[in-house]
Copies of this chain bind each other. A is one copy, B any other.
Amino acid sequence: MKIKYELLTNDDRARYGKLHTNHGTFETPMFMPVGTLANVKTLTPEELKAINSAVILSNTYHLWLRPGEDVVAKAGGLHKFMNYDGPILTDSGGFQVFSLAKKNDITEEGVYFKSHIDGKKLFLTPEKSMEIQNKLDSDIAMSFDECIPYPATYEYTKASMERTLRWAKRGKEAFNNENQSLFGIVQGGAYPDLRKLSALETVKMDFDGYSIGGTSVGEGKDVMYQMIDDAIKYLPEDKPRYLMGVGEPFDILEGVERGIDMFDCVLPTRLARHGNAFTRHGKINLKNAKYKEDFTSLDDCDCYTCQNYTKAYIRHLLVAKESLGGRLLSIHNIRFLIKLTEEIREAIKANRFLEYKKEFFKVYGGEEDD
């Protein structure tokens, strides 16, 4: 079965809805934690469920290299392999591949690049990306697209966007897994007419959902919001919209305001590994000496970490390089973004999203000490 998006309430452009998947029904807007290598770093599926996590994201490129899609397929697919019975979204591999490829390694057929593990030369095409994702058997697969950096010339952006459309078509034709959904990706850089063209042509192909790609690649915040505005108005109301690689609270709120339903980002786990935590009052770095004897909880929060441990203890674990420290912070940081989306959904339902957004930043917008 394909996923199905159900729009329940609008608050101006912000949307509250439900995403029906083969692995449960979940509310949107939602934040999706990243489990690159078939695990959300340091955490178990039970811990993700305890913080009300729904869809998680896994990376096709990384799983292609290790353990290999055939191993995952033999295990019975990604859900069985990693023992996670919630929905999983896989990216196309494109984002990683383009960060490893040189410009003239990009051909009409696909992309040549070198493995980040052993430098081995590899070739990824739309068909191959679909084949790997079909074998991984995630709930949602992503089209193979070229993610260009910012800034880029109009000429290059146009040519790349048009190739991405051809790749999307090839991928859709090669796609072969009736239990899996496929999302199209809108490109077009910072050029409104290219975003429009990309959106219209991608929608014509009738995907199960749409992503706005090519954001968070070096452009400023205002440019990113403009990119969303330029694309989203051409996307159908009855399909989910996904903003890739976005996890800062401010960006999530700006995205929701513009009609985005799904977000993903490595930020909460990456911050955790470096000792940083989201709090209601902004980000803090727990390694800071001022927390040495701070026996209060990290944040006013319902997560396992905040309910059971003090800043002083987490700081001790981080300073002593004990991995439990990063694990406890990962739980909290992911919970923080998921709680944010829970509050966003309540605000949309109550038709007070913009008010909520203002209230959130009145508290959150303070100084950051990291």
User: Which A residues are closer than 8 A to B by beta carbons?
Assistant: 37-39, 41-44, 62, 66-67, 71, 74-76, 81-83, 292-293, 295, 308-310, 312-313, 315-317, 319-320, 322-324, 326-327
Contact = CB atoms under 8 A, between A and B. Distances in A.
A308 B46 CA distance: 11
Nearest to A76: B295
5 tightest Cβ-Cβ pairs between the two chains A and B: A67-B316, A37-B320, A39-B324, A83-B308, A66-B320
Given A75-B310, A81-B312, 17 more contacts: A37-B322, A38-B313, A38-B316, A38-B317, A39-B324, A41-B324, A42-B324, A42-B327, A44-B324, A62-B320, A67-B292, A67-B312, A67-B316, A67-B320, A74-B295, A83-B309, A323-B327
23 contacts: A37-B320, A37-B322, A38-B313, A38-B316, A39-B317, A39-B322, A41-B323, A42-B323, A42-B327, A43-B324, A66-B319, A66-B320, A67-B315, A67-B319, A71-B293, A75-B313, A76-B295, A81-B312, A81-B313, A323-B323, A323-B326, A323-B327, A327-B327
Nearest to A62: B320
A77 to B, nearest CB: 12
Central interface residue in A295, A308, A324, A326, by most chain B CB within 10 Å: A324
A297 to B, nearest CB: 11
Contacts of A326: 323
A66 B67 CA distance: 38
A204 B134 CA distance: 73
